[in-house]
């Protein structure tokens, strides 16, 4: 389970303080398909970064599977990240490494040998339908394929939580539809999914929707449950 309480993240701008995430409290149970939505600049990416232990909040707390992240050391934060898969909006692949190396680079500190890593990469990429690209470099792939590699990297360490930042925004309709199918399959295996998106198809699949505006949560919604007016 992921729980935040009065979560805030402020950035110091040139002449004012930017409140990227402002007093956000939410709870996402294990195995849910949660979607963060809202206009550009509403704080979705920042909130995902906080949930993915990629940055620390200015105030408030995050509890991730029973662990309070605020009290974690940098080393502990790194261990938390090892159990979270993160798909970045711009893929964030290492351009000069082949696909299989990109997918399994996070496994290197675990001491997994290259042969075993290649096997893992092959399995995950086969699951995502791009096993034939295992030796290619990212710049030899289409946007959709690169996004799948990014998903494969997030899945290679078999995380219990997968976060994805606008995963369909850089893809055409067909590639987006294929990726959405992949997310459905991943969710079906029991992985908790938290995505930020504007994509209506993903919104339709969501079990929880959290709408943000100017850093504030304006409408947490559990699909099938009545909307609580006091929260909106």
Partner 1 sequence: MRRLVEIAKTGLTAILLHPLRSSVTFLALMAILTPYLTGIGLAKGIEQDAKSSLRAGGDLYVSGSQFGRNSSLPTTLVSRIRELDGVAEVVPRIVGRLVLGREHVEAVLVGIPDSRFPASVSCIAGRLPRAGGTNEFVVGTELARRLKLKVGALLPPFYRNPRGEHVSKTVGIFESDVSLWQSNLMFSTFETAEEIFDQEGMATDLVVHCQSGYVNNVSSAIRRMSVTSPKSGKVIRLMVTSREELNVLLAEGQFHREGIFNLHFLLVFVIGILVILITSGLGLPERRREIGILKATGWQTDEILLRSLVESFLLSVGGASASILTAFVWLKVFNGYWIAGVFIPGVARAPSFPVPFRLTPVPAMLAFVIALAITMSGSIWSSWRAAIVPPDEAMR
Can you give the binding site for partner 1, defined by CB under 8 A? 49, 52, 54-56, 74-75, 78-79, 81-82, 86, 88, 92, 94, 96-97, 101, 105-106, 108-114, 153, 157
Exposure letters 204-222 (e unless 16+ CB within 10 A, then b)? ebbbbbbbbeebebebbbb
Does residue 186 contact residue 193 with C-beta atoms inside 8 Å?
yes
**Cβ closest to partner 1, residue 74 vs residue 139:** 74
**Cβ closest to partner 1, residue 117 vs residue 221:** 117
Residue 225: CB minimum distance to partner 1, A: 32
Does residue 44 contact residue 89 with C-beta atoms inside 8 Å?
no
Residue 186: CB minimum distance to partner 1, A: 17
Q: What is the DSSP letter of 91?
A: -
Residue by residue, DSSP assigns 20-89 as: EEEEEEEEE-TT-EEEEE-STTSSHHHHHHHHTTSS--SEEEEEETTEEGGG--HHHHHHHHHTEEEE-T
**Cβ closest to partner 1, residue 90 vs residue 132:** 90
Residue 3: CB minimum distance to partner 1, A: 21
Residue 142: CB minimum distance to partner 1, A: 21
**Cβ closest to partner 1, residue 56 vs residue 213:** 56
User: Six-digit token pair at 105?
Assistant: 């680079």
Cα 192 to Cα 76: distance, rounded to the nearest angstrom: 21
Residue 78: CB minimum distance to partner 1, A: 4
Cα 19 to Cα 110: distance, rounded to the nearest angstrom: 37
**Cβ closest to partner 1, residue 59 vs residue 132:** 59
């Amino acid at each position: 389970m992921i729980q935040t309480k009065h979560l805030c993240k402020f950035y110091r701008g040139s002449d004012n303080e930017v409140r990227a995430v402002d007093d956000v409290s939410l709870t996402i149970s294990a195995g849910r398909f949660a979607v963060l939505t809202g206009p550009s600049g509403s704080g979705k990416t920042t909130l995902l970064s906080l949930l993915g232990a990629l940055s620390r909040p200015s105030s408030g707390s995050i509890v991730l599977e029973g662990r309070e992240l605020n009290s974690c050391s940098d080393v502990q934060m790194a261990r938390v990240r090892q159990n979270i898969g993160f798909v970045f909006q711009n893929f964030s692949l290492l351009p000069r490494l082949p696909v299989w190396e990109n997918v399994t680079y996070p496994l290197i500190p675990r001491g997994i040998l290259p042969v075993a890593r290649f096997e893992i990469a092959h399995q995950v990429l086969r699951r995502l339908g791009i096993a034939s690209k295992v030796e290619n470099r990212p710049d030899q792939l289409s946007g959709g394929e690169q996004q799948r590699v990014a998903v494969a990297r997030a899945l290679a360490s078999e995380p219990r939580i997968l976060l994805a930042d606008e995963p369909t925004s850089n893809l055409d309709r067909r590639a987006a539809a294929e990726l959405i199918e992949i997310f459905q399959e991943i969710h079906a295996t029991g992985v908790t999914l938290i995505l930020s998106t504007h994509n209506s198809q993903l919104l339709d699949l969501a079990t929880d929707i959290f709408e943000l505006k100017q850093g504030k949560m304006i409408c947490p919604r559990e699909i099938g449950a009545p909307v609580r007016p006091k929260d909106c």
